[in-house]
Amino acid sequence: MSTASITQQALDLPLAERVAVAQALWASIDDQLAEVDVLDAVLVARERDAAFDTGAVAGLSHEQVMQDARRRIG
């Protein structure tokens, strides 16, 4: 079964079931993230924060992020 097929089947579920699937997926991701080297994550976060503070990168509004996500999803 392809990822696209699984995704479509999940999207076809009623809201409560989609929430349950999303929570289960997030819990599995969260468990694996706990295994990631925390120091590396902190270093990346500091680099990104510094880039934002210096103006090297600009932040996006929630609406901009959501528009981009909708565009990418189709």
Note the pLDDT tens digit of each residue in 43-73: 899 999 999 999 999 989 999 999 999 999 9
Joined tokens for residue 38: 């925390």
Joined tokens for residue 68: 């981009």
Cα–Cα dist 70/61, whole Å: 14
pLDDT for 7: 94
pLDDT for 34: 67
Taking 90 as the threshold, does the pLDDT of residue 40 lie above it? no
pLDDT for 35: 67
pLDDT for 43: 86
